[in-house]
Amino acid sequence: MDPATPQPVLTPLTKSAIFLVYTVRPGGEDQVRDVLGEFTGYVRTVASRAPQGRVTGVVGIGSAAWDRLFAGPRPSKLHPFPPLQGAVHSAPSTPGDLLFHLRADSMDLCFELATVLAGKLAGAVELQDETHGFRYFDARDVIGFVDGTENPGVNEIADSAIVDPAAEPAELAGGSYATVQKYTHDMDAWNGVSVEEQERAIGRHKWDNVEMEDGVKPDNSHSSITTIEDEDGVQRKILRDNMPFGRPGSGEFGTYFISYASDIDVTEEMLRNMFIGRPPGQHDRLLDFSTAHTGGNFFAPSLDFLDGLPPAPGAGDQGTTTAAASARAEEDPGAEPGAEPSGSEAACLPDGCLGIGSLKGQPQRRP
């Protein structure tokens, strides 16, 4: 059997992107399934109008929506984003059933694809967030530092971002776990400290992007606290495709964090270190200038999955109903058997609301 073809999660950073997060309205499942089944066709149609525009699209499905849309197996580690509450900073869990990550080298192409999708989904979904991102100079974020330096290299990227076929049912091979957060930055506070203090917060020199030496780089710097290693000291990575966004006239300056990982545990461990601290109480210094407003987990299935969707869940399929109820019970032990999940589901994991994770990816960008 030929290996499943992933969605274009490994696509290099483009100049523009639009991120759309929707929840599925009750009764909108069939319409959403129709759009998912035609999604790759919509992307090809827009791409054909500008062959040099590097138009791509990735769609992810959230935990609460999965059992409403598919009767087949669900990703083993797909669960709602666990809210994080540290001593100083917090990361919320926000509603999200569908994630669309639309990329191109010009915003008009992203806009056109987003318009097509919005029209096809009209009436079946509710928009939770829409963010338009742009590439800023030499891939810097709005706080002035190069973003994505620690993404995995070409020989690591697939292992970091695409699930191990042995870890998921065959139907889910070629998929990827996606996590998104929307951060805004307090630019007055950030620009109110020296460049040297900014460098200590990031763990890199600002202009040449060279990492600070061990012993000099603070333990609570962003680059230190988001470095994850396994028991053998090998660094575990995720693929980050972060994009700046903002509205200067409204004083909004932000970074849209999006990661693709073969194991969502790595992403969640990174975020737990940032907000809870490593050790607990020692949070990421960058969070003193940045605030998280959203948080969502999704599974981006393969192109093969989208082009041949599994059946919709049948009301009389006791096996499917039981499996779905069991999966939801793990996310929400207090849920009534057979209860329909809501689009705003944001349950905590058994280890509390702190979440744990694992990472892998391409030349990485920071959240």
Question: What digits encode the pLDDT tens for the residues 15-39?
Answer: 999 999 999 999 999 999 999 999 9
pLDDT of residue 214: 87
What tokens appear for 31 in the block?
């319409």
Residue 341, in any domain of the structure:
yes
Q: Give me the helices (H) in 87-148, please.
A: 107-121
Q: What percent of the chain has pLDDT over 70?
A: 85
Residue 321 predicted with pLDDT over 50: no
- Is 224 contained in some domain? yes
Packing angle, helices 107-121 and 29-48, rounded to 10: 150
> Averaged over 232-256, what is the pLDDT?
95
Q: Which of 17, 56, 22 is nearest to 40 (CA)?
A: 56
State residue 3's pLDDT score. 83
Asked whether the bond before 6 is cis by omega within 30 degrees of 0, the reply is no
Domains: count for the chain: 1
Assign 215 a pLDDT band (cuts: 50, 70, 90): confident
Is 151 among the domain residues? yes
**Residue indicated by tokens 């028991």:** 231
Kindly report the average pLDDT of the chain as a whole number. Answer: 87
Q: Residue 184: in which H helix or E strand, if any? A: strand 176-185
**Residue 11 included in any domain:** no
* pLDDT the model gives residue 227: 93
**Residues tagged active-site:** 147
Q: Does 265 fall in a domain?
A: yes
Do residues 47 and 53 make contact, with C-beta atoms less than 8 angstroms apart?
A: yes
**Look-up of token digits 């630019």:** 187
Mean pLDDT of 180-191: 98
pLDDT above 80 for 357 = no
pLDDT of residue 6: 97
Write out the residue range of the structural domain in which residue 345 sits: 16-353
Q: Is residue 245 part of a domain?
A: yes
SS3 of residue 120 by DSSP: helix
Cβ neighbors of 143 (< 8 A, separation 6 or more) are 185, 187, 190, 198, 253, 255, 289
Our measurement of the distance from residue 297's CA atom to the centroid of its chain's CA atoms, rounded to an integer in Å, reads: 6
Q: Which two tokens stand for residue 21?
A: 């997060």
Position 44 pLDDT exceeds 80: yes
Q: What is the mean pLDDT of residues 151-179?
A: 93
The answer to whether position 83 is within a domain reads yes
pLDDT, tens digit, 9 for 90 and up, residues 81-135 = 999 999 999 999 999 999 999 999 999 999 999 999 999 999 999 999 999 999 9
DSSP characters over 40-103: HHHHHHHHHT-TTS--EEEEEE-HHHHHHH-SS---TT--PPPPEE-SS-EE-----SEEEEEE
Say if residue 337's pLDDT is above 90: no
In the block, which residue shows the tokens 């009389």? 316
pLDDT at 199: 96
Q: Does some domain include residue 361?
A: no
